[in-house]
Amino acid sequence: MSGGSPRVGVVGHTEWLDFAVVAHLPVAGEIVTAHEHFEVPAGGGAVAAVQLRKLAGAATFLCAVGEDRLGERSLAELRDEHGLEVHAAQRARPQRRAFTHVDRNAERTITVLGERLVPRGEDPLPWRSLADLDGIYFTGGDADAVRAARRAPVLVATSRAADALAEAGAELEVLLGSANDEREREGVERLRGLARWTVLTHGAQGGSWQGADGTSGSWPVAPPPGAPVDAYGCGDSFAAGVTYALAAGQDLPAALALGARCGAYCLTGRGPYAAQLTLA
């Protein structure tokens, strides 16, 4: 990084999200009425990329989308409304979608529709330009996409991308997972030897980390700046904050503290983008 904010980006996925705000989740056979409904392009890659842009002033996002109206709309909104530099491969299939209930306790419950679309090293994307970035967050792609992202000095990845990460065998600065998600816990265990630091989030209890050198620690949850509204995107915003701080040359405790603040701010807005932390 040569002065100013670090140059950052995301390699991963985006999905079209339908949100329904309800008093409670429906039980079997029940009909509930949403008192609010909206749609946005989201998914872990997109949410993290927008949070990185709000911290750094600019962010690059390499992804894949479907060749349909929602794929085109996703790209247009991420570029025009959220200010991302987006480079996307197109797949001859519908854009992946997801449906999210948000209840009165601000908890989100997600149903995903369709196959996950991720970029591949064979796609005509600006892979070489990733070497010019200071930090990258990886949420999805093939092994060649991992290797291209590894050209950046800092590479943070979610354990949900375990297959590609394991095949690539690339070392990570941070491997992230949720202690409350069985798939992510399994990915952490599978990849633990690849990361300088393995980080597990514990929701409202903060989180814990373990270093490859045998060191370990924890961090507390950051107090939100307002009442909880919507938990969707909190973990992705946390990951973006960690990536930004490490790319800026900060140490792990400072990176985790910034990530916690990003997650806390996201919690106070409707949808993933309304209340994300900005550098100002």
- The pLDDT, as a whole number, for residue 192 is 84
Phi, psi (5° rounding) for residue 17?
-110, 130
- The pLDDT, as a whole number, for residue 4 is 81
- The pLDDT, as a whole number, for residue 204 is 83
- In single-letter form, the type of residue at position 103 comes to D
CB contact set of 80 (below 8 Å; sequence gap of 6+): none
Q: Are 155 and 136 contacting, i.e. CB atoms less than 8 angstroms apart?
A: yes
Tokens of 225: 């700046």
| Helix 43-56 × helix 252-266 angle, to 10° | 110
Q: Are 228 and 192 contacting, i.e. CB atoms less than 8 angstroms apart?
A: no
Place of tokens 């797949």: 91
Find the Cα–Cα–Cα–Cα dihedral 279, 255, 107, 223, rounded to 10°: -70
Q: What is the pTM of this model?
A: 0.96
Separation between Cα atoms, residue 250 and residue 232, nearest integer Å: 27
Could you give the C-alpha distances from 39 to 46, 103, 270, in angstroms and in order?
14, 16, 11
Find the Cα–Cα–Cα–Cα dihedral 161, 221, 238, 50, rounded to 10°: 150
Place of tokens 């992230």: 176
Phi, psi (5° rounding) for residue 250?
-80, 160
Q: Where in the chain are the domains?
A: 8-25+35-266
- The pLDDT, as a whole number, for residue 3 is 62
CB contact set of 178 (below 8 Å; sequence gap of 6+): 184, 185, 200, 201, 203, 235
Identify the helix (H) or strand (E) that includes residue 207: strand 207-211
Separation between Cα atoms, residue 66 and residue 94, nearest integer Å: 5
Q: Are 81 and 45 contacting, i.e. CB atoms less than 8 angstroms apart?
A: no
Q: What is the DSSP string of 79-100?
A: HHTT--EEEEEEESSPPPEEEE
Place of tokens 């630091």: 197
**Superfamily assignment of 8-25+35-266 in CATH?**
Ribokinase (3.40.1190.20)
Separation between Cα atoms, residue 101 and residue 27, nearest integer Å: 12
Q: What is the DSSP string of 134-170?
A: SEEEE-S--HHHHHHHTTSSEEEEEGGGHHHHHHHT-
CB-CB neighbours of 189 under 10 Å: 12
User: pLDDT tens per residue, the chain (280 residues)?
Assistant: 656 899 999 999 999 999 999 999 999 999 999 999 999 999 999 999 999 999 999 999 999 999 999 999 999 999 999 999 999 999 999 999 999 999 999 999 999 999 999 999 999 999 999 999 999 999 999 999 999 999 999 999 999 999 999 999 999 999 999 998 899 999 999 998 999 999 999 988 899 999 999 999 999 999 999 999 999 999 999 999 999 999 999 999 999 999 999 999 999 999 999 999 998 7
What does the angle CA 113 – CA 237 – CA 78 come to, to the nearest 5 degrees?
A: 60
